[in-house]
Structure 1
Amino acid sequence: MNIPSATYRIQFTPSTGFSDISGILSYLTDLGITHVYASPVFQAKKASDHGYDVVDPNRLNPEFGTEIDFASLIDTLRLHGMGWIQDIVPNHMAYDQHNTMLMDILEHGSSSQYFKYFDIEWDHHLEGLKGRLLTPFLGSHFGEALESGEISIIYGRDGLEVAYYDLRFPVRPGTYDSLLTYRLESLRNTLGEEHPDFIKLLGILYVIKTLPQVQSEERYHQTTFIKRMLWELYRGNSHIKAFIETNLRIFNGQNDNSDRFGLIESLLSEQFYRLAYWKVATKEINYRRFFNINGLISCCVQDPVVFEDTHAYTMELVNNGIFSGLRIDHVDGLYDPLEYLVRLREKVPDVYIVVEKILHPDEALPNSWPIQGTSGYDFLNIMTQLFCNPDNDATITKIYADFSGIREPLREVVRHTKRVIAEEHMAGDVDNLAQLLKRISGRDRHGSDITLQGLHRAMTEVLIEFPVYRSYVSNSSFSESDRHYISEALGKAMARSPGLKYELEFLKRFLLLEYPDYLSDDERAEWLRFTMKFQQFTGPLMAKGFEDTALYVYNRLLSLNEVGGVPDRCGISTDDFHRFIGRRRESWPYSMNATATHDTKRGEDMRARISVLSEFPDEWETELKKWHGINVDKKRTISGKRVPDKNDEYFLYQTLVGAFPFDDAEIPEFTERVKEYVVKAVREAKVHTEWIRPDTAYEEAYLAFVDDILKPDSDFLESFLPFQRKIGHYGILNSLSQVVLKATAPGVADFYQGSDLWDLNLVDPDNRRPVDYLKRRHMLTELRQKGVQGVRKLTEELIHTKEDGRIKLFCIHKLLAVRRLMPNLFLKGSYLPLKTAGVFGDRIVAFARGYEDRWGITIAPRLLSAVVPADELPLGKKVWQDTTVILPNDLPDEWRDFLTNSEVHAIDGALSVGEALAAFPAILLINEN
């Protein structure tokens, strides 16, 4: 198996395609990257800037380039000796007209060869959704859209279609006769009954009426015949063309009938889909979505046929040696993740596989999964906590509460936001689960008297209380951790809703698979199916309720507000860090060490800055009050309330501290980026405005506030910048320590595109902006040249010009060079936490990696505000005084710093931190022998 040493995440977009990436591979190789880690490259919805809305998993995205461009990219990749980790999306596809499998279902219904490919409830309890797939893409209610002429029937080479602006949906072939028989007598009179073209048209109508209603090649052949013959008649006979076009105008409401739109409405009612206002999906829906995104429909990859068909091209590229690794997107959305991963592993036994899995800090990745680990959110969050001061946890909480007025603990905020999502944004999904349970329970003597409303309420309470993203109960697996999390959610739900005791007890039997003896095998299978469907919903609810809502409401310390993070816990000890890394080294040594991804809420160096606020709570509070006083008159009053409110104001100030550019020339562009960001943030919070009900007055007032306070020479900036630059200084030091720890700890060092320089990005799409690789290439070339002339002189220069980011690039380059030089040390080496002593011992993270006779020691400082003032660097014995790193007896005394090439000597089994950190703020020592 080809285990990566260092990966570099590339975000393909229509403006950054195969040829563009081919041109940067030499730079990535020189940087030390061993594997490109690519966003989805398969055909996605047109103009997609992320690629997760795939329409065809068996075709490359033509917007990225041709197959020749891709082949050229792979040839260049191989020339540089690099591998390719591919992000794949098994859970869902785009609900889009270019999704030919889905469009085939909309055209043929149960007769489609793809009928079972998507997670659709065709036998829905609502009459309007029985046998019809909800199509919730209208911008207004159906009746309004129809009568305004926004919905129409059109005709072309591909047959009849329903058009709504740029959207197109196929018309069911068996309903063509509605339009073709309307006024048919007039066409008969015009052409004559014996006219060959009229006879052909009658033949088409006969084929339409006799279409097979089962899946068959014959049905597809006859459908092709209908479309081809009708097109020939349309193109070849002006009378038939005029007949069809006139009927289209009449059906589309251009007539004098009393019910002008009755004909098109009747035709639409006969389709295998139901056009609807997009908001309908929040309450009524019969397909499983990705989270609550209407445009992403989930796949049934648990079906072996669907798995084979949707993974065919991926398997081909793996077997041809093009993909050397896979990253599985949203593994928690799958019906049975273990079964999926086992099947995938059987197909690709020697491929590196990681999954996107969000873990609670106390949660373990299932050890039965045949993979190498996660894509790194667990590492990211422990790293962020390491640079927050736990001593000031309570103080930070009080400052936030006093300023914002929000005193609810995080658990109550999350409970509230999950309820909002469950009851307002995903009510239809919860209702489908309740209906499924009701159908099953109605055949059980203990459930026959339980009402649908009672089941719905009980289920909602358990979903809200679920402590992790999901459990993994299946026919072949039911772990103790699964039992623990399910029982915890049930227990909390019972404590908070004692009136639902009977319903919750009944639900408990299902979720814990406590089958009554009298159940048949088929009935037990139904119980299990409900539990597994239930599990598929806990993750999306957690994601939308916690990640996409609570993390924009609870703004105590924004560096902690990350996917899988613990925002109400500020900081950990070095012992906590070592325990985490030690467990990871033993269980999942090849997991990714990520500090930024395409989904993170903030860039890694933005987080590193904001964490510094935990070291200056009193000064932070003073500055907050001062800025509020300066800016209070810049707020507008909307509906009797000042905008932004103080919680949003608190959010904004942290954002500015974390993301403010080093170069003042960037402030105008930065202001626009912040304005886009705050609109997204307040909509996600769903307090004053939201995506489905935007309050433009609040948003515009907030944007005006941002504009006012960021004007050049504003009173706010004059007050803000000195404090921000102070925080920025320590943020740089945090970032350098973070790079050293990431590159030397057990795991695969992962870098998000552009983070090779300072990463001060905001949430997507801000973090998918184009990256200036020419600038990076030039910087790296210069660094390598200067390094040959004298590395000590170079590091002195970099420290004094640290704001330009070259110091980070240098650090990454040097560390990845040693990883390539000594791969076994970092991929297979042991992990040994090292004790520290002296006045600043608790401000040092140190560990050793060992493999055979080779040793490396990492020394990285943290919480440096107590070590040096803001205008100084943590270098030399004068700063570190008696602080030492204690070495075990079997480690050597002679070391060399790989970053600066300085020699460091241990005396009496201890390394002087002041000697070790004499020239660079964080280091990697390699034993001389």
Structure 2
Amino acid sequence: MSEHPATGPATGTYRIQLRGTSDSRHFGFAEAAELAPYLAALGVSHVYLSPVLQAAPGSTHGYDVIEHDRLSAELGGPEAFRAMAARFHGHGLRVLADIVPNHMAVPDPPELNGPLAALIEDGAESPYARWFDVDWEEGGGRIVLPGRGEPNYRRFFDISGLICLSQEDPEVFRRTHALMLGLVAEGLVDALRVDHPDGLADPRGYLERLSDASSGPDGPRWILVEKITTGGERLPGDWRCAGTTGYDALGMVGGVFADPDGERPLTEAYVAFTGGGPASFDPVEYEARRFAAEHALRPEMSRLLKVLCRVLRVDAGDGARRADLQAVLLELLAAMHVYRAYVVPGEPPTRQAVEVLEEAAERARTRLPARLRRDLDLVVRLALGHEPKGGDPGDLAEFVVRFQQTSAPLAAKGVEDTAFYRWSRMASLNEVGGDPSRFAIDPEDFHAYCAGVLRDWPATMTTLSTHDTKRQEDVRARLAVLAELPVPWTEAVGRWRAWAPKGSPLEPDLEYLLWQTLVGAWPIAEDRLGEFLTKAMREAKTRTSWLDPDSEYEKAVLGYARRALVDEGLTADVGAFVAMLEPYARVNALGQKLVQLTMPGVPDVYQGCELTGLALVDPDNRRPVDYERRRERLARLDGGGEPRDLDDEKLLVTSRTLRLRRERPGWFGEGGGYEPVRAGGEAARHVLAFRRGGGEEGALTVATRLPAGLERAGGWGDTYLEVGPVPWRNLLTGEVHQGPRLEMAVVLAVHPVALLVSGVAE
């Protein structure tokens, strides 16, 4: 019998990375099912699964689907999936499944993908031609596969091994979603996470179809989208979903624990270290976007230009005119600071879409010669769906869609997968959905953000780590301390740079990233560091790349890193520096975790991150998790044991908060409210606090921020919070504190955070 009914609102999720390989890292449906008792004890409401459909042979992540009508045999097949779902439901847990509508794999051999095999056989005449986005003219009526020329199909980003689907076609939607929607209807899957909706022709229309098709007697399913918002971008309000997978929350939470006073000295230190490297991110982003457009995404840019020329009736032989339009497209797309504008053909553009394109045009205008500015205005009008005189509506509609399906991968490849590896002033800021130029978040801005989430997207997801983050949450928490200690950091990195008698073979930015990586992920083994550095330098694409690797340079970089890890003097110095950071990193790690778990939205815990998460970018963050260690620690804490280390403290914060959310969903949902609680006293700036719930009952989150500065100021002193005149019980210690004034020196004497509840019996 279920201890917790598998109904009610989502209160917390736990992400599991399934792996169907035949090696020791295999983790399928049966292994996931074994976690049911532990995850129920941890306090989550949903188990959040990576893709479960049949993927390409040897897949380590499941996003390279080859069969939409079959559950992965490598993960265990349908019987194991049903047994897993039953086990979860029996423990009061629901299933959140990750679906991949945007693309399928081009496997080796390609015949393993049935629809693709039919396409190869029959070309444009195949009944599966409607499934895929192929430029038949470019291939002479046939599909051009990798290794046989330039691929003539729309790819997922620049990955030729993934071919994009045309989900706007009702038959494609029906055929590719039938199995998953059947699992939903049967009650085996309770909620859906949509991978990369920005790649679809019509994300809004897709979500309307998905919501309608998955809704049950109790109404719409909980649907989340992996939509990355950047800067001031907002999720379109007319999307039929509960919100995003939480990258916006990740950036806000991390930012509020960073010291803004560290921006100037760390920028100066970076510029000095790199020998005059850019002091701002903007020029790096621009050059990286241009690089991606001219290289990685050249086929997509060429196809977009061809459609534009068709709209404007530019003759194929008019090379000069085509070159002008190509320059305009390049500059406009390079100037966009968001993924796409969400213009729907045949509909007036939204105000947000107009703002996005007009702002991009203003930036592009400064980089174009005066003679092309009229063309720029024309292209912007077309991208907004304004039809030219005598134009073909079908051609215009294709341009509108294809422009957005080009801007989205350009943002991903140009910024996250290139620029983020070229400018490492503060590596913890170079995160998916983040803005490296935004150094810190003011608490007032954080509170305003939370109020907006509660108002607009109360059931959105929040997160601190995912399978796509560049570095896990506690690496970032440790690196954030550098903003409070810029002088010790600058001195340390200067010593380390002088360590090698013959100097460093690394490019200056890569070397600066190396030392930050050692500090953030310490201790780290050679294989993990080598994997990270290989990815970092190839993604930067300055001296080497995935397509054109420079083996000599890479060998020199990895050899330098290897020697660094075995030099006793150097490692002792790095270890001592990390030890100096640890007390402050502990405060940041616990603070950001408690805030993420209690702020508006539904918190996700990425696998293993209920303990310290020090993994780097994939595949490092997909390594097997030691769940037995976590079970033992949780059982000891539940048995009354005191936390022995940071792992225990983080597990305590995670479990007690998730359980409270599950027991009191009304406090944390749409009607629970969000009220900033401002501190008074001499160290007030070091407190971040807010209330959830209403009336006399509710929860109070208290977190310490900027701990090194707090220590320099002499501690809490008379700092306090004014709260209701009722007793408040700290769920982390069991202590009861009487309001209306809570002294921070008392409340935070044991842990640097507190989760207080009022109006609830012991």
What band does the TM-score fall into relative to the shorter chain? over 0.9
Aligned partner of 1:201 in structure 2 is none
- The match for 1:391 among 231, 242, 261 is 261
Is residue 703–residue 752 contact of structure 2 (8 Å, CA) maintained in 1? Answer: yes
8 Å CA contact retained: 1:441, 1:448: no
Give the whole-Å Cα distance in 2 for the aligned partners of 1:671 and 1:109. 48
Determine which of 2, 6, 11 is the counterpart of 1:5: 11
Q: Is the 8 A contact 2:191 2:223 kept in 1?
A: yes
Q: Give, in angstroms, the shift of residue 401 of structure 1.
A: 0.5
What code does the residue aligned with 2:755 have? Answer: L
With structure 2 as the length reference, what TM-score do the two structures score? 0.94
* Equivalent in the alignment of 2:142: 132
Say whether residues 1:652 and 2:514 are aligned partners: yes
Q: Is the 8 A contact 2:682 2:719 kept in 1?
A: yes
Specify the alignment match of 1:683 in structure 2.
538
Q: Once the two structures are superposed, what CA deviation does each residue of 1:284-312 show, in whole Å capped at 9, x if it has no partner?
A: x4210000000000000001111111111
Distance in 2, matches of 1:457 and 1:443, equals 15
- Equivalent residue, structure 1, for 2:407: 538
| 2:228 match | 358
Match of 1:772 in 2: 626
1:435 paired residue among 306, 311, 322: 306
Superposed CA deviations along residues 186-206 of structure 1, whole A, max 9, x for unmatched, are xxxxxxxxxxxxxxxxxxxxx
- Counterparts of 1:123-202 in structure 2, within 5 Å, are 123-124=137-138, 129-136=139-146, 138=147
Q: Matches of 1:496 and 1:319 in 2, distance apart? A: 53
What is the distance in 2 between the residues matched to 1:685 and 1:488? 27
Equivalent residue letter for 1:541: L
> Which residue pairs with 2:23 in the alignment?
none
Helix, strand or coil for the counterpart of 2:701?
Answer: strand
**Greater C-alpha Rg:** 1
Distance 2:368 2:43 in 1: 56
For the residues of structure 2 that align with 1:33 and 1:906, how far apart are their CA atoms?
31
1:646 Cα deviation (Å)?
2.1
Structural mapping, 1:43-54, within 5 Å = 43-54=54-65
Please tell me whether residue 102 in structure 1 is matched to residue 116 in structure 2. yes
Taking the aligned partners of 2:314 and 2:528, their CA distance within structure 1 comes to 57
Shift of 1:111: 3.5
Contact 1:361 1:378 in 2 (8 A): no
Q: Which whole-Å CA distance do the structure 1 matches of 2:171 and 2:499 have between them?
A: 64
Distance in 2, Cα, partners of 1:892 & 1:358: 42
1:756 partnered with 2:625: no
Which amino acid is the alignment partner of residue 493 of structure 1? A
Residue pair 1:38, 1:87 contacting (<8 A) in 2 also: yes
SS at match of 1:313: helix
> Are the aligned partners of 2:479 and 2:519 in contact in 1 as well (CA < 8 Å)?
yes
2: distance between equivalents of 1:60 and 1:295? 21
Q: Who is 2:274 aligned against? A: 404
Q: Paired residue for 2:359? A: 488
Query: Does 2:63 align with 1:57?
Result: no
| Counterpart residue number, 1:919 | 750
Match of 2:195 in 1: 329
The 5 A counterparts of 1:224-239 are none
How much has 1:27 moved relative to structure 2? 0.8
Aligned residue number for residue 650 of structure 2: 808
Q: Hey, what does 2:4 align to over in structure 1?
A: none
1:881 maps to 717
Is the alpha carbon distance of 1:450 and 1:486 closer, same or farther for their aligned partners in structure 2, counting shifts above 3 Å?
farther
Amino acid at match of 2:488: E
Question: Which position in structure 1 is the counterpart of 2:41?
Answer: 30
CA drift of 1:525 comes to: 3.5
Where in structure 2 are the equivalents of 1:58-137 lying within 5 Å? 58-96=69-107, 97=110, 98-124=112-138, 129-136=139-146
How far residue 448 of structure 1 moved from its aligned partner, in angstroms, is 8.9
Mapped to 1, the partners of 2:423 and 2:73 lie a distance apart of 42
Letter in 1 for 2:563: D
Q: Answer yes or no: is 1:500 the counterpart of 2:372.
A: yes
Q: Which of residues 693, 716, 738 in structure 2 aligns to 1:905?
A: 738
SS of residue matched to 2:498: helix
2:688 maps to 1:849 = no
Structure 1 counterpart of 2:393, from 524, 530, 533: 524
Give the partner amino acid of 1:758: T
CA displacement, residues 216-245 of structure 1 (integer Å, 9 cap, x when unaligned): xxxxxxxxxxxxxxxxxxxxxxxxxxxxxx
Shift of 1:495: 1.7
Distance, in Å, in 2 between the alignment partners of 1:484 and 1:57 is 38
Is 1:314 the counterpart of 2:180 in the alignment? yes
Flag the 1:881–1:513 CA change in 2: closer, same or farther, 3 A: same
- Structure-to-structure mapping, 1:593-672, within 5 angstroms: 593-631=462-500, 633=501, 635=503, 642-661=504-523, 670-672=525-527
- Given residue 835 of structure 1, which amino acid in structure 2 is its aligned partner? R
Structure 1 letter corresponding to 2:403: F
Residue 415 of structure 1 is aligned with which of 264, 279, 286? Answer: 286
RMSD over aligned Cα, in angstroms?
1.8
Match of 2:442 among 573, 576, 580: 573
User: What is the 5 A alignment of 1:196-211?
Assistant: none
Alignment check: 8 A CA contact 2:725 2:738 kept? no
In the aligned structure 2, how far is the partner of 1:362 from the partner of 1:450? Answer: 37
| Local SS of the residue matching 1:28 | helix
Aligned equivalent of 1:832: 675
> Does residue 706 of the first structure (1) align with residue 561 of the second (2)?
yes
TM-fit CA distance, 1:712: 5.4
Q: 2: CA distance between counterparts of 1:450 and 1:302?
A: 35
SS of 2:616 mapped into structure 1: coil
Amino acid paired to 2:758: N
Q: Secondary structure at the match of 2:608?
A: coil
**Deviations 1:161-192 (CA, angstroms, capped at 9, x unpaired):** xxxxxxxxxxxxxxxxxxxxxxxxxxxxxxxx
Q: Does the CA contact (< 8 Å) of 1:906 and 1:912 recur in 2? A: no
Name the SS for the 1:114 alignment partner: helix
Q: Give the partner amino acid of 2:678.
A: K
8 A contact 1:593–1:748 mirrored in 2 = yes
Q: How many residues of Structure 1 are paired with residues of Structure 2 in the alignment?
A: 737
| Paired AA for residue 109 in structure 1 | G
- Residue 218 of structure 2 corresponds to residue 346 of structure 1: no
Distance in 2, Cα, partners of 1:481 & 1:918: 47
Do the aligned residues in 2 keep the contact of 1:595 with 1:604 (CA within 8 Å)?
yes
Shift of 1:698: 0.9
What TM-score do you get using the length of structure 1 for normalisation?
0.77
Q: Is the 8 A contact 2:307 2:398 kept in 1?
A: no
Determine the C-alpha separation between the residues in 1 that align with 2:33 and 2:572.
45
Distance 1:590 1:579 in 2: 17
Preserved CA contact (<8 Å) 1:594 1:750: yes
CA contact (8 A) 2:460 2:601 kept: yes
Structure 2 regions of 5+ residues with no counterpart? Answer: 1-6, 21-25
Residue of structure 2 aligned with 1:785, choices 636, 639, 651: 639
Q: Distance in 2 between matches of 1:4 and 1:476?
A: 35
How far apart, CA to CA, are the structure 2 residues paired with 1:407 and 1:460? 22
Q: Match for 1:384: what amino acid? A: G
- Flag structure 1 segments of 5+ consecutive residues without an equivalent: 139-274, 636-641, 662-666, 788-793
Aligned-partner Cα distance in 1 for 2:123–2:494: 62
> 28-37 vs 486-495, which deviates more?
486-495
Specify the SS of the correspondent of 1:567.
coil
* Residue 166 of structure 1: aligned partner: none
